[in-house]
Amino acid sequence: MPDRMSEKDLNQLINMLEWESSSNDNHPDIFLSETQLVDDSDGRLLVRADKIFVQDPLPGGSPAVISGVLPVVIQVNGVKITSPTEVTSEDTIEWEISEPPLYGITISEDKLLAFFTLYSPKRYAWNLNDHYAVSWLEITATMNTEVEVGHLTLNKVISDFEKKSITQNLNISGIHAELQNPSYQPIPVANGRAAVPGENARMELFFAENIIDSEFNEIGGQVDYRSHLRIPSVVRGEVIARKIPVVEGIPGYDVHGEILYPQQPTDIIVIAKDQTVLLANNEIRALREGRPRMTGDKIKYFDICTSYTVPGNVNIKTGNILFSGDVIVRGNVEDNMIIESLGNVYIAGNVHNSTITATGSILIRGNVANSKLYSGYFGVMYNRIYISSQFLIEEVKVLQKAAGLLTQAVENRKQSVKYGQAVLLLLESKFKKITQVIRELLTVLTHVQASFHHDLEQITHFLNVFLNPIQLVDFLNESSLSGFINSLVQLHSGVARMQETKVEVNMGKSQNTTIKSNGDIIIHKDGIVQSDLFSSGNITFLSPASVCRGSRLEAGGTISAYLVGGESGAQSYLKAKRSVTIRKMYLGKITIDRYSADITEPVENMVFDSDTIRKMAKI
């Protein structure tokens, strides 16, 4: 049952009815508007003196429909309505005002600052707008600024900050000033203290990681590599590097008083290998004269690189060269030769139809034709020891699993077989490639053994066992096969660790040659023809007369060239991450990052970057 109306409210309603009827004699029914018919059977809604009155519909009519216009919120039978709702006199209709708070407290994303924003220092009363009787009514209200119903106090604000656990360095005077002279703008009223980041460990090197002067110079008909190439060299006892230890950060705190821990700085593991020593004061000293080098990524290895010098040409008489250090060739590299260096390669003459891999840099005074040059990371990836050991690791693991299955199958038949015999049968039937690769790897290791830093005695012993069926059957078991795999892993990772960080390929001219370097590629003479160049760094042509014809160039940084293409129509494709600079280009394609443009007419003195290419693509 609806609540009964008080006598006072009834009298107020009667007074209004009398006033309405006196001013509107032709329409004594207050529930009807001037435009509505008296006999309309729908229900009615009326708003007077902040109250909502409902008249039920006549037979055949529809109930009245009510809704609220914000900030008015209507409740029907204790439930807030969000859409127009039918009501009758049996329903309990209540209203309230939904107002924004008088102020707001916000915290920065890093939780180091808290802000106070004042929206209004006072709260005022609201009155419903009177409305004549209608069947569909949207309830509205107006603020009454003459009637104050609430006042914001400093204590109330501070209490709310404390409830949010914001107490660190709370600026109470700032809050008070805003309440007295509102700016209605966010003002910082509490602050934490940011954590002070630490410093990562780093290496301070006292030698150049690359060749400072890449020109080859002759004195008295001889190439003085150490002096004129300025290959970094140290003497015994010299400090070659120093590790700067990590500096721990300082914790801070946020506006809630919670501790903010700085990110843990990254340390560097330093290992002093051949002919170097790591002292207690974090200095690395050389134990003999030679070229110092640092290899590795997360773990930094230091050693003094040895060098192997070929006084003349590299040819069938000298054989292929595989050396764990720098290789210096005073002559040419002739047809079908291989130079594999776990260091740098220096060549005074030309290279023809050969493959050169170096975990460091490759510097060639003359020209390169029909060859492959791999430097740094690629020198590791194309190294025969690296490739062969990787293949054997994968295949021998499969062989080990197959041998286990075979011996288990034999045991299930209540029979027995030697583990080595099972492996031998699998090698002769399903894993023939393993024996072939073992022979190749053993041949390579025979040439490098005298100078290779890794202890090869154990790995060569295992390789020879696999080539001797009698020893294989008698000696091999599952444990020793696992030992063989571990030796291969150490050999494989040992080559990978020899990759130097700052490398380059430097040559005079190339034709029909593939060059890959995880550093820069520098062409210091005539240029390149029908060659593929890939550099993780920059590709630079030094001579203004150098050309680039019929070639593909890709650089992780920039490409700087002079004459690209020619009137004969040999196209070149230049792709760089940052920019391509050319003096003249006839025909080809340029790609910067993800954007490409075809060059169909000669262009001169251009610097192409991503913006330039995008504009060209729109034309």
pLDDT for position 579: 94
Strand-by-strand arrangement of the 276-278 sheet: 202-205, 239-244, 283-286, 276-278
In this structure, are strands 79-80 and 72-76 parallel, antiparallel, or unpaired?
antiparallel
Query: H helices of 340-417, where?
Result: 377-381, 384-412
pLDDT grade, residue 576 (50/70/90)?
A: very high
Span 219-238, mean pLDDT? 60
Distance (Å, rounded) from C-alpha 160 to C-alpha 441?
A: 76
Which amino acid, 52? Answer: I
Using 50, 70 and 90 to split pLDDT, how confident is the model at 452?
low
Write out pLDDT tens, residues 372-415: 999 999 989 988 899 999 999 999 999 999 999 999 998 888 88
pLDDT band at 234 (very low <50, low <70, confident <90, very high): confident
What is the pLDDT at residue 211? 56
The mean-pLDDT minimum among 18-27, 165-174, 456-465, 517-526 falls in 18-27
CA gap 11, 17 in Å, rounded: 10
Strand partners, 73: 96
CA torsion angle 296 299 300 302 (round to 10)? -90
Residues 456 and 494: their CA atoms lie apart, in Å, by 11
Contact 581, 559 (CB under 8 A): yes
Greater model confidence, 522 or 229: 522
Peptide bond into 186 cis (omega under 30): no
**522/363 Cα distance (integer angstroms):** 9
Give the start-end residues of each E strand in 140-258: 141-151, 187-191, 202-205, 218-219, 222-223, 239-244, 252-253
When pLDDT is cut at 50, 70 and 90, the band that residue 286 belongs to is very high
- 306: confidence class by pLDDT, cuts 50, 70, 90: confident
Residue 449 pLDDT level (bands cut at 50, 70, 90): very low
Question: CA 206, CA 221: separation in Å to the nearest integer?
Answer: 32
Closest by Cα among 247, 238, 237, 241 to 282 = 241
Instruction: Over range 433-451, report the average pLDDT.
Output: 80
Output the six-digit token pair for 137: 């009514």
Question: How many Å apart are CA 288 and CA 584, to the nearest integer?
Answer: 50
Alpha helix (H) residue ranges in 432-477: 432-448, 457-466, 469-475
Write the CATH number of the domain with boundaries 202-250+265-305.
2.40.50
Grade residue 28 by pLDDT with cuts at 50, 70 and 90: very low
Amino acid identity, position 569: G
b/e burial code for range 247-267 (CB count within 10 A of at least 16 → b)? eebeebbbbeeeebeeeeeee
* 618 pLDDT tier (thresholds 50, 70, 90): low
Tell me how crowded residue 455 is: count the other CB atoms within 10 A of its CB: 12
Q: What is the pLDDT of residue 235?
A: 87
**Read out DSSP for 515-575?**
EEESSEEEEEEEEEES-EEEESS-EEE--TT-EEES-EEEESSEEEEEEES-TT---EEEE
Taking phi over 0 as left and psi of -120 to 50 as alpha, with beta for the rest, 386 belongs to alpha
Residue 278 confidence class, pLDDT cut points 50, 70, 90 = very high
**Above 80 in pLDDT, residue 166?**
yes
Domain boundaries of the chain, sorted by first residue: 7-191, 202-250+265-305, 384-496
Taking Cα atoms as reference points, which of 235, 218, 337, 348 lies closest to residue 285? Answer: 235
Please state, as a whole number, how many other Cβ atoms lie within 10 Å of the Cβ of residue 520: 24
Residue 9: phi, psi to the nearest 5? -65, -40
What is the structure's pLDDT at 34? 41
Residue 15's pLDDT band (cuts 50, 70, 90) = low
Cα angle 308, 497, 331 (rounded to 5 degrees) comes to 25
Position 289 scores a pLDDT of: 86
The pLDDT value recorded for residue 284 is 95
Nearest to 492 by CA among 461, 447, 456: 456
pLDDT tens, residue by residue, 316-337: 998 899 888 899 999 999 999 9
Tens of pLDDT, residue by residue over 179-208, are: 999 999 999 999 999 999 999 999 999 887
The span from the CA of 319 to the CA of 335, in Å, is: 11
User: Mean pLDDT throughout 266-288?
Assistant: 92
Q: How many angstroms separate the Cα of 63 from the Cα of each of 55, 90, 132, 133, 362?
A: 9, 11, 16, 13, 93
Task: Give the tens place of pLDDT for each residue, 478-496.
Answer: 999 999 999 999 999 888 8
pLDDT tens string 70-112: 899 999 999 999 899 999 989 999 999 888 889 999 999 999 9
Q: N- to C-terminal Cα distance for the chain?
A: 79
- The percentage of residues in the chain with a pLDDT greater than 90, rounded to a whole number, is 58
CA distance 250 to 95: 55
pLDDT at 183: 92
Which 3 state secondary structure label does DSSP give 106?
A: strand
- Indicate if the pLDDT at residue 224 is higher than 80: no
Checking if the pLDDT of 617 tops 80, the result is: no
Nearest-CA neighbor of 375 among 388, 392, 362?
362
- The pLDDT of residue 20: 41
Confidence of residue 454 (pLDDT cuts 50, 70, 90): low
The structure tokens listed for 182 are: 């509102």
Q: Which pLDDT value is given to residue 85? A: 92
